[in-house]
Structure 1
């Protein structure tokens, strides 16, 4: 059996731009983490815990509850990470190599958000979360089926009320899709919720989600501050480590979507560098989004 540990990429809210007063958090939403054979999960967790206790020794000793202390992925992959704490990035790279040597893979699925306020984009945050979770489960099941293994999915803990609200939808999706897509039988249960403070594997999934989020930021935002994420001297081992099913789904774009390690490419298909002026330089982002919305309506018609 395989074990999949995933965490959220970004959040479900609207996105306009990095400098918007209210809607500036993340240009995409989805899930990322890793998949590992069950027989290697405990070993990998021990390696992660050992590295964490070495790198963050002083912080852990100073914590009120050392056994529950965790370093969030957003801190590991902060804007100036290569300058302020390159050692943490080296530890992440080492952990990715360890994972792949144990027969594991990194994984992600994310949807680019339409640009605009909640009213402009008719945002339904619950639907955005459901759609991303469904696609993540579909792709994890497909990966497991390729390896002729069942898979158990685990995700960071949420409050009990929210868990009970989401659970029926996940059951409905898995059972409803099974007849047409038999690989869904590989999912032993809907995702189980685990407290990240008590799980080294969920903590590493959070690191992976942060790393993937930075790469998506670089690919989707022209003025991204995370160009360093594509530097092979910073995070080398992610390339070739993702499942074939990993994907960034674009919103009404004229270029191909991103698969597996392509989000870490230095080249950015959305912002090519031709000999003349970029088309994107001549088009207001909001106007471009309206044009894509019109195109979508025409396509549906």
Structure 2
């Protein structure tokens, strides 16, 4: 049996731009995480816990409840993480490689949001969440079918009201779709909600979701500052690590949707560089900063000799 651990990509609200005073959070919504064989799940969770204990030893020791301490993925994938805390990215990459060595894969599905305020886009957040979850389940079921294994899906805990509203919809979707799509029968139960502070694997799914969120932002938002997520060699481990069913569905764009690991392309299909232009995304960010600094120094006017 396969176990899928997933968490949210972004949030369901409207998006206008990074600089909008209110609607600036995320240009897409969906789910991401990883899939692993059931017999390896506890082993991987123990590895994650050991790495977390080593990486954040000081913070955990100072916590009121050390056993329940967690580091959110959004705090791992900050703008300056690669420069200020490169060890966090090294640990994340090592964990990705461990998932792959155990026969597992990373996963994501997300829908790009139409640009605009809730009124401009006729936003229905419940419908957005439902559509993303349904397509996530469809694609995880297809992955399970291709591996000839049953599947259980775990997701981070939400409040009881949301859970009671979502569960019947998910159950109805799985059963209703199974008549025409037998792969849905591979999902033996609707997604189970697990408190992240009690599950190392849900915590790692949150890290994966944060990494994917930044990569999607880089591909969709022209002035995204997260070039390093796609361009850095430090994250080479994620390239090729995703299921073939992973997808970013674009909103009325002239280019194709992103599949598999394509959200980690250095080049951006939505914003192609002019021919002959130096692609910053093709250069390691640290090297690019050094090139820019050298260029600036070269243009500093010299004082004339007396």
Q: Structure 2-normalised TM-score?
A: 0.89
1:113 is aligned to 113
Deviation of 1:231 (Å): 2.6
**Which structure's CA Rg is the greater one?**
2
Distance in 2 between the 1:275 and 1:218 partners? 20
Residue 236 of structure 1 deviates from its aligned partner by 1.1
Moved over 4 A (4+): none
Contact 1:15 1:113 in 2 (8 A): yes
Query: Post-superposition shift, 1:276?
Result: 10
Counterpart CA distance in 1 for 2:36 and 2:5 is 9
Q: Residue 228 of structure 1 contacts residue 234 of structure 1 at CA under 8 Å; is this kept in 2?
A: no
Structure 2 matches for 1:217-228, cutoff 5 A?
217-228=217-228
**1:156-180 per-position Cα deviation (integer Å, ceiling 9, x unaligned):** 0011111011111111111110010
Deviation at residue 274 of structure 1 after TM alignment: 2.8
- Structure-2 residue corresponding to 1:270: 270
1:73 aligned onto 2:94: no
Per the alignment, in what secondary structure is the counterpart of residue 45 of structure 1?
A: helix
SS at match of 2:236: coil
Between stretches 114-123 and 266-275, larger displacement belongs to 266-275
| Residue 232 of structure 2 corresponds to residue 245 of structure 1 | no
Specify every segment of 5 or more residues in structure 2 that has no aligned partner in the other structure, as ranges. Answer: 278-306
Alignment partner, residue 180 of structure 2: 180
In the alignment, the residues of structure 2 paired with residue 232 and residue 18 of structure 1 have an alpha-carbon distance, to the nearest angstrom, of 22
Pairwise CA distance, 1:84: 1.3
CA displacement 1:215-265 (0-9 Å, x = unmatched): 000000010010001134221100111000000000000100000100000
1:199 aligns with 2:199: yes
What is the alpha-carbon distance in structure 1 between the residues aligned to residue 109 and residue 264 of structure 2?
A: 14
| Alignment match, 2:257 | 257
Structure 1: 5+ residue stretches without partners: 278-301
Aligned residues: 277
Does the 8 Å CA contact 1:8/1:30 hold for their aligned counterparts? yes
Deviations 1:16-74 (A, max 9, x none): 00000010000000000000000000110000000000000010000000000000000
Task: Give CA deviations for 1:100-151 in whole Å, capped at 9, x if unaligned.
Answer: 0001000000000000000000000000000000000000000000000000
| Partner Cα distance (1:242, 1:199) in 2 | 22
Alignment of 1:55-74 (within 5 A): 55-74=55-74
RMSD after superposition: 1.1
Alignment of 1:1-301 (within 5 A): 1-275=1-275
Q: Distance in 1 between matches of 2:174 and 2:21?
A: 39
- Aligned equivalents of 2:108 and 2:234: distance in 1? 20
Task: Provide TM-score, normalisation by structure 1.
Answer: 0.91
CA distance in structure 1 between the partners assigned to 2:130 and 2:188 by the alignment: 19
